């Protein structure tokens, strides 16, 4: 049953990519779809002697260590392609919860971003993120929280994308360890980040903590794309996050659910007015 559900999800992504994502040649879309199934079905995604594998996606080499990496790239394009018509040319993007660089790739290749700052707390994912990013100095290995210090980070067994310092009762974790935590305002100040066109936050439940740490940054941010919790434990659900951003001059521009009926989270796009 789980396998059929995953196949259905994958085929839905294929349909969205092929028929709804504009601005990409059909041959490149088909190439990603075919590589996704080949890498997963034939086990080409396994690491050898501790080394990650790589494949070409839209003309760039992408390093990964999980068989669902091509599908996660496809998902980013399908869920976020509408940003192309909203952001100005060559936008500045800040990506919190960057994993191995899926959104970094999307922002550079599809959105034409001139700068992407990516933040990821898991050291294993961060090493791949550095290899996949255009500028490794704009990649930071730390958690983002509403205060500086340390947090206990939990690595999910199913996929590194589900890892967080906030545990879920129905999730399995293979390890836990302390990682440094910093506020987002301190990070962007250190990196000299000025006006931001898009702040993307996907931290598996701790998104409100990230927003609370970015009061100064929000004042000079045009759009916020944030994953908001519905039926899961979080520091702030969709109502709290919506209220928080509304109080700081943002309005909800778009809302999309990952699942029908009982979604564990929804993606909200907020625009500063």
pLDDT for the residue 91: 98
In whole angstroms, what is the distance from residue 222 CA to residue 197 CA?
Answer: 5
Shared domain for 157 and 73, answered yes or no, is no
Could you tell me the two tokens for 165? 């310092």
Whether pLDDT at 64 is above 50: yes
Whether pLDDT at 45 is above 90: no
- Where a domain ends, among 55, 77, 99? 77
Q: How many CB atoms lie within 10 A of CB 201?
A: 25
Q: Which of 168, 248, 188 is nearest to 212 (CA)?
A: 248
Could you tell me the two tokens for 265? 């989270």
Shared domain for 211 and 110, answered yes or no, is yes
The H-assigned helical ranges of 175-272 are 184-191, 207-212, 215-218, 238-246
Least confident of 65-69, 143-147, 200-204: 65-69
Shared domain for 222 and 166, answered yes or no, is yes
Domain that holds residue 104: 86-272
Q: Which of 109, 12, 132, 110 is nearest to 118 (CA)?
A: 132
In whole angstroms, what is the distance from residue 36 CA to residue 70 CA?
Answer: 5
Rounded to the nearest 5°, which phi and psi values hold at 241?
A: -65, -40
pLDDT-above-70 percentage for the chain:
94
- Where a domain ends, among 57, 77, 97? 77
Cβ-contact 111, 58 below 8 angstroms: no
Packing angle between helix 69-80 and helix 26-41, nearest 10 degrees? 150
Shared domain for 190 and 265, answered yes or no, is yes
Pick the most confident of 34-38, 89-93, 171-175, 229-233: 89-93
Shared domain for 56 and 177, answered yes or no, is no
Shared domain for 119 and 25, answered yes or no, is no
Shared domain for 73 and 90, answered yes or no, is no
Least confident of 19-23, 45-49, 168-172, 218-222: 45-49
pLDDT for the residue 260: 58
Shared domain for 194 and 254, answered yes or no, is yes
Shared domain for 141 and 43, answered yes or no, is no
pLDDT for the residue 39: 83
Residues paired with residue 95 on neighbouring β-strands, in sequence order: 118, 200
Whether pLDDT at 244 is above 60: yes
Cβ-contact 206, 164 below 8 angstroms: yes
The three-state secondary structure class of 103 is helix
In whole angstroms, what is the distance from residue 36 CA to residue 19 CA?
Answer: 17
C-alpha distances in Å from residue 154, one per residue of 172, 174, 224: 9, 8, 25
Whether pLDDT at 68 is above 90: no
Shared domain for 115 and 67, answered yes or no, is no
In whole angstroms, what is the distance from residue 14 CA to residue 20 CA?
Answer: 10
Looking at the 3D structure of the chain, how many domains does it have? 2
Q: What is the CATH number of the domain that holds 240?
A: 3.40.50.150
Shared domain for 41 and 155, answered yes or no, is no
Mean pLDDT within 244-267: 86
pLDDT for the residue 111: 98
- Where a domain ends, among 77, 97, 130? 77
Shared domain for 31 and 99, answered yes or no, is no
Mean pLDDT within 3-8: 84
In whole angstroms, what is the distance from residue 204 CA to residue 123 CA?
Answer: 17
User: pLDDT tens, 86-128?
Assistant: 999 999 999 999 999 999 999 999 999 999 999 999 999 999 9
Better-scored residue on pLDDT, 26 or 172: 26
Mean pLDDT within 9-16: 94
What is the DSSP code (8-state) at residue 219? T
């Amino acid at each position: 049953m789980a396998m059929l559900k995953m196949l259905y999800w994958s085929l839905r992504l294929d349909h969205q990519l092929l028929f709804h994502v504009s601005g990409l040649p059909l041959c490149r879309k088909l190439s990603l779809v075919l590589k996704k199934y080949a890498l997963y079905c034939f086990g080409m995604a396994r690491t050898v002697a501790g080394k990650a594998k790589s494949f070409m996606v839209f003309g760039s080499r992408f390093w990964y260590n999980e068989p669902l990496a091509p599908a996660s790239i496809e998902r980013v394009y399908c869920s976020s392609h509408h940003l192309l018509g909203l952001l100005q040319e060559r936008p500045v993007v800040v990506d919190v919860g960057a994993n191995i660089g899926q959104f970094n790739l999307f922002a550079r290749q599809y959105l034409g971003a001139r700068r992407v700052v990516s933040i990821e707390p898991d050291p294993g994912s961060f090493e791949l993120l550095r290899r996949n990013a255009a500028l490794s100095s704009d990649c930071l290995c730390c958690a983002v929280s509403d205060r500086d210090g340390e947090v206990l980070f939990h690595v999910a067994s199913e996929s590194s994308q589900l890892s967080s310092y906030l545990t879920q009762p129905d999730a399995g974790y293979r390890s836990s360890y302390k990682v440094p935590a910093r506020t987002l305002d301190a990070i962007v100040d250190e990196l000299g980040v000025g006006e931001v066109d898009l702040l993307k936050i996907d931290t598996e439940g701790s998104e409100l903590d990230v927003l609370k740490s970015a009061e100064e940054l929000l004042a000079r941010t045009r759009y916020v794309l944030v994953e908001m919790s519905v039926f899961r434990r979080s520091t702030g659900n969709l109502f709290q996050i919506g209220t928080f951003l509304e109080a700081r001059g943002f309005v909800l521009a778009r809302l999309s659910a990952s699942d029908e009926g009982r979604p564990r989270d929804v993606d909200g796009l907020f625009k500063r007015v």
